[in-house]
Structure 1
Amino acid sequence: MINHKANSPFGVLILIVLLMMGLNTYSIPDSLKSGADAVYKRHITNIELVSAKKMIVTKIIEVTVLNEKGRSHTDFTVDYDSDQPIKSMTAELFDANGKKIKSYKGRDIKDYSQYSGSTLFHDNRQKQIEVYAPQYPYTATFEYTQEFKEYIGIPSWYPQVGYRVSVLYSSYTILHREDFSLKYRLFNIGEPKIEFPKPGIKSLTWEQHGLKPIESEYFSSRFFETTPAVLLVPECFSYKGTNGCYTSWETYGEWVSSMIKDRADFTENMQLKVQELISGVHDDIEKVKIIYKYMQNRTRYVSIQLGIGGYQPFPASEVETTGYGDCKALANYTKTLLRLGGIKSHYTEIGVSNTQIMFDDFPSAWQTNHIVLCVPLESDTIWLECTSQQYPFGYLPYSMQGQKVLLVDEEEGNGRLVNTPTPDASYNSRHRNINLEINAEGNAHGTMTTIVRGGEMSDLFPELWQPHKERERIINNKYSIPGFRLKSFNYNLYEGDTTWASEDISMAINKFTSQTGNRLFIKANVFGGIGNIPAKSNKRRSELVLKHSYTYIDSVTVKIPEGYKIEHLPSTTSTQNPFGSLRTEFSSTDATIKYVRSLIVNRYKGPASEYNNFIDFLLEVNRVDNQNIVFVKEI
């Protein structure tokens, strides 16, 4: 147990909670066990902002694991480094009756690097205690205290913890000087209880009781938007000898701008090389492309956790010398090269994966986790991902579409929020043309050409840059149709005014048709379909969210088998709704049949009640794709 001093404002609260809770499984109400893999009986977070620089975080957790799926909840980890040392860390294991099985400390605590071999120059580490019992249920307690010698953010609070988890009791208390300015944003929870435990000291406490488990839902909004959450930041901070404020994105941008100030240094060789590369080139887009490809060919991505807590890029001249850098360093290096070529660009903070800028009026560093480059030209604005040595020039992945980003203006010394492009469905497209010939035995051979643009280009990653054998393996896995045999393949990439890639394959498919008596049956679109479609739900919680828009156009031409004629062609289909549209058309000649399917999916955000309607739309797409074309033997 953590020894809290008698005068600690947290001590009384923790003591009361400890006395209220038992360690046996029977103290958990059945309503919190149903649908849960784990139950958090206690989840207490206490934060003390000692000063504008120093923060102490203490957590006390008691969690009961009900089954194998809940086991990860007792794999306790804490990230740390020399500026964020762990002061204490212990855990205990109890059986279903509350009998202690084991205490974990000292050698039971694993300590290892937080990053793989692709990370250089870091002291980021992680301590881990794996608490596990072979029989369920079992209960684990975990306690730790960590000191932050400097900080620019404050831990958020998500009392629900995760999906299929229930919570008996959770609290979050933050203690700070009265004159310290703190900002917070609330979701699905009320204002805190405010107390003044000492003269000049203020505490804010949020509590939650009896949170029932919730299920993860397909096509849903963010976790914290439908569960209780508290997000916090200091209004201003002092970090590694620098000062910044979260008063607005503009003021936070001032701090980011100070991080890249004087980092765009260059050597004479860099200047000469850029002039050599763009000599005789008058089109600015072509200049950007040449410089971008040069950067890709001579650098590689390596995560670097140095430079004012990992927030400052290495100087451009250092990347020129070493040939590597992280997202900050490579974006700064590319920006420097472009400037030497007379092209202005902007260092830009963006969120990727599950991170993104969500609030115009609540800035924070944790809403971004990546750096890209924005290149505003007279005719267009180009967005460059500088960490990939393979990404095509002009490629705008789904992760960079329709996002708020912080564009940093180094000359003005500030930043501002701008939006990345939000293209319509036609920009993210896949066009596929299939030509097949079928013999009387039902075997097929033919060709398939797939052309992808926009975010759909990732469908041909990594095939575009893989060696022959690996491409072959990927294709066979991707088109895992019974009887499929790959004969040949080819890939092309075009990087110009529009960027696209293509895949051409030649194939044979043994027993492509099914046969009953004198009839052959084939599916209308054997390479189409939606795949696994989620089940409908009458208990939907969250909004229906379709994050991306795209267009799929499939054209399938089949040569009628010799000695057969068409007996049945499905009818034309046309469907349109707020989620998108589906149109199919069947046609025939004396020698061939043709099926064309156009599917458009729109970005969409709407009430939970629309979820089942969207699933009906997907089921209709699959139904149409799986319709049979029937040939009958001529007599």
Structure 2
Amino acid sequence: MRYILSLLLVASASCGVFAQGIYDVAKIPEALTKDAIAVIRNEEQFFDIKSLGSAQYDYKIAVTILNKAGDDWGEMEEVYDKFSTISNLKATLYDATGKKIKDYKSSDIKDESLSDGFSLLQDNRVKRLKFTSITYPYTVEYSFSQDFKGLLSFPSWRDLKGFAISTEKSTYTIQKPKGYNIRYLTSQNLKTDSVTVGDKIQYKWKSADNAAIVSEPLNAGIDNISAWVKVAPNQFEYDGTAGNFDNWKDFGSWMYNLNVDGNKLPDATKLMVQNLIKDAKTPKQKMQILYNHLQQNTRYVSVQLGIGGFRPILAEKVAQVNYGDCKALSNYMKALLNEAGISSNLIVIGNGMPSMNANYSSMGQANHMILCVPLEKDTTFLECTSQYKPMGFIGYDNADRNVLLVTEAGGKIIHTPTYGVKDNYQIRKTNIKFNDEGMAEIGIKSAYGNAQFESIFGITLQEPSEQRKIIINNSDIPGVELLTYKYEQKDKTLPVITEEINFKTNQLLTKGGDKAFLTLNQTNRKESVPLKVENRKTYFAVPFSYNDEDEITYTLPKGYTLEFIPKDINITSEFGSYTAKFATKDNTITYLRTQTMSNKKYPPEKYNEYVEFNKKIYQADKQKAVLAKVL
């Protein structure tokens, strides 16, 4: 009997062990669950290059979702198009102990058009599955194979998939024929393993036990603290075309050849161009006229069809339909200028992306196209998708970065204009006049330039009721009643917008006994200080460099005299500078404030110094004048 009981106990224990699968949450190291909403338990990428134009991609991933915030990781979305097919798709759901809950069938997986809401034409599709669990944590696992017919780019890899996501294990293997050349970039100190397997060479990268990183204020991404790999082909075949990425010159040649004979115009359009520019005296005037015509008569739509994602729609087609994507509209503008005798070049650019790496050419570094017009005395860049940006203003997300100039001789890396501290300005003058009862009438006149022009311009496109809400919500002045407002772009050729706002309020003076207290910065006040972050991991930067200048003139109410006014303040640091000056004459106070900020990228250890700099500005912005009642 004791022997039989022993056997039963062993069997029971064994069943318990096997019931806890490899995805048992209890097996996750505690360091990987700290600050995490999900854990990558295992990820395997295998990319097998079979020939110049074909490859197979095998992918497998298992993710444990720890709480509701991680539910986005409980979804599978895999994109394909007419140049690739997805097969052998398997998906499984596990509970917290790693016990299998469900194997998903093919009928559970949706196969849908990948509509982005703005593309007129596209052929991308997506295999989509949403795993569902009523309890946390749970684990999802899926795998698939994808066959490619045409190779422009290869999968990239990064061990940290995002903030608050930890990684237990992740590997990336790329396999190529011995005679096939690739180039790759890796993060610093990432080891590359290379081995020969038959007539192929394998490169392998791996990473394990990477704790989650909390999203930190003003972070510049996690690439500087994660392991990553970017791989590109030298030669490629795609949608009936061939080219190479050996260097940007060759890549530019491929782009140029895609558009050979693509900027011809219909005769009627040519005649229109000549009529439009007949009175223009200079190339610049001709360009302005034609750019205005482009903005007023075309609209942006996206087109993502095979090579159409890279080759512009013919200029004659745009002339007929009056729409196109960034490539089509830039090419159409190029054709209009050509008819006017002005040469120009297409620019491949990463809008909102890092500068192109001048020493590493690849497809994934760009997502947009603009136009470059080199005149005799200057060069003008044109953003051809915007219906309101002034000629020559390409926007902050296109500024100050390496881009690819496409020429007949090939591609060339050049740099777009930089909008610096003084360019991105806000200049404001405010008059505040108190009546005898303490009611203040406030008139504010502001001018916004370049990046700050972009930030404010959106309000001009809103309905009046929405504009009023935005103005009141954005005001630092307590208890305001909005009287009138006006926005105006007086010179459509400049990225400058003016704003005039009139308020009234009876809440500016805080009274105590025979004293009244007046906060002197009412229009551009720092209302909070970022929290300190100990042991910060990520680099940081403000969105853009800028310069703010504020002048406020107060006319004091009768019956009060000025008893105290603060001393001038001057704060400087590597992040920027700040001054506040206070002056009085008769019954007026003049407050002058300036603040400049640099968007240089700073290392993590500098962040708490940045917080202290902001704390000083916060305190300076709270300075008060004291008024005494005349007895």
User: Which TM-score bucket, shorter chain as reference?
Assistant: over 0.9
TM-score by length of 1: 0.92
Cα 1:158–1:307 shift into 2, 3 Å:
closer
Contact 1:442 1:514 in 2 (8 A): no
Of 513, 521, 528 in structure 1, the residue corresponding to residue 509 of structure 2 is: 513
Q: Deviations over 1:323-382 (max 9, x none)?
A: 1100000110111111112222211011123x2334111111110000111122233322
Asked if 2 retains the 8 angstrom alpha-carbon contact of 1:357 and 1:368, the reply is: no
The one-letter code sitting in structure 1 at the alignment partner of 2:200 is: I
**Residue in structure 2 matched with residue 107 of structure 1 by the alignment:** 107
Indicate the SS of the match to 2:84: coil
Displacement of 1:596: 0.7
Amino acid at match of 1:476: I
Equivalent of 2:381 in 375, 380, 383? 383
Q: Which amino acid aligns with 2:368?
A: H
Secondary structure (helix, strand or coil) at the match of 2:487 reads strand
| CA apart distance, 1:112 | 2.8
Separation of aligned partners in 2, 1:110 and 1:440? 71
Query: Partners of 2:318 and 2:630 in 1: how far apart?
Result: 72
The one of 596, 605, 609 equivalent to 2:592 is 596
Residue 7 of structure 1: aligned partner: none
SS at structure 2 position matched to 1:434: strand
Is 1:158 matched with 2:158? yes
Partner Cα separation in structure 2 for residue 510 and residue 133 of structure 1: 55
- The one-character-per-residue Cα deviations of 1:460-481 (angstroms, maximum 9, x if unpaired) are 2223344434433432333375
1:182 aligns with 2:178: no
Alpha-carbon offset, residue 621 of structure 1? 1.7
Structure 1 match to 2:3: none
Instruction: Could you tell me which runs of 5 or more consecutive residues in structure 2 were left unpaired when the two chains were aligned.
Output: 1-17
Seen in structure 2, the aligned counterparts of structure 1 residues 26 and 285 have a Cα distance that, compared at 3 Å, is: same
Structure with greater Cα Rg: 2
Q: Deviations over 1:497-521 (max 9, x none)?
A: 7431101111122423332233322
Aligned to 2:35: 35
CA-to-aligned-CA distance 1:231-282 (integer Å, 9 cap, x gap): 1001111111222211111111111111222110101111111111122211
Do 1:307 and 1:313's aligned partners in 2 also have CA atoms closer than 8 Å?
no
Matches of 1:55 and 1:369 in 2, distance apart? 24
Pick which of 549-558 and 560-569 moved more: 560-569
Residue aligning to 2:9 = none
Counterpart CA distance in 2 for 1:339 and 1:21 is 67
2:405 to 396, 404, 407: 407
Whole-angstrom CA distance in 2 between matches of 1:179 and 1:502: 62
Following the alignment from structure 1 to structure 2, what is the Cα–Cα distance between the partners of residues 481 and 88? 62
* The 10-residue stretch of structure 1 (47-56 or 384-393) with the greater mean CA deviation from structure 2: 384-393
Pick one of 427, 437, 443 that aligns with 1:431: 427
* Match of residue 8 from structure 1: none
Q: TM-score, normalization: structure 2?
A: 0.93
Judge conservation of contact 1:445–1:507 (CA < 8 Å) in 2. yes
Q: Where does 1:339-354 land on structure 2 (aligned, <5 Å)?
A: 339-353=338-352
Given that residues 396 and 454 in structure 1 are in contact (C-alpha distance below 8 angstroms), is that contact kept between their aligned partners in structure 2? no
Residues 1:486 and 2:479 are matched in the alignment: no
1:362 is aligned to 2:360: yes
Q: 1:171 maps to which residue?
A: 171
Q: Which amino acid aligns with 1:321?
A: Q
Note the 1:286-305 alignment, pairs <5 A: 286-305=285-304
- Rounded to whole Å, the distance in 2 between the matches of 1:356 and 1:543 is 14
Does the Cα contact within 8 Å between 1:394 and 1:499 map onto a contact in 2? no
Q: Structure 2: how far apart are the matches of 1:288 and 1:141?
A: 56
Give unmatched runs, 5+ long, in structure 1: 1-17
**RMSD after superposition:** 2.1
Q: Aligned pairs, how many? A: 614
Distance 1:195 1:360, change over 3 A: same
Determine the C-alpha separation between the residues in 1 that align with 2:603 and 2:117: 45
Residue from 534, 542, 567 that aligns with 1:571 = 567
Pairing of 1:108-127 with structure 2 (within 5 A): 108-127=108-127
1:136 aligns with: 136
Tell me which residue corresponds to 2:81: 81
Equivalent residue runs for 1:210-609 within 5 Å:
210-306=209-305, 308-353=307-352, 355-409=353-407, 412-479=408-475, 481-495=477-491, 498-546=494-542, 548-609=544-605
Out of 613, 616, 619, the residue aligned to residue 617 of structure 1 is: 613
What secondary structure sits across from 2:501 in the alignment? strand
Alignment-derived partner of residue 52 in structure 1: 52
Q: For residues 421 and 289 of structure 2, what CA distance do their matches in structure 1 show?
A: 29
- Deviation >4 Å, runs of 4+: none
Most deviating of 131-140 and 152-161: 131-140
Secondary structure in 2 matching 1:464: helix
**Distance (Å, rounded) in 1 between the aligned partners of 2:108 and 2:188:** 39
Relative to structure 2, which stretch is displaced further, 439-448 or 39-48? 439-448
User: Is 1:626 matched with 2:625?
Assistant: no
The residue type equivalent to 1:160 in the other structure is: L
Give 1:305 deviation, angstroms.
1.0
CA contact (8 A) 1:394 1:495 kept: no
Query: Which amino acid counterpart does residue 613 of structure 1 have in structure 2?
Result: E
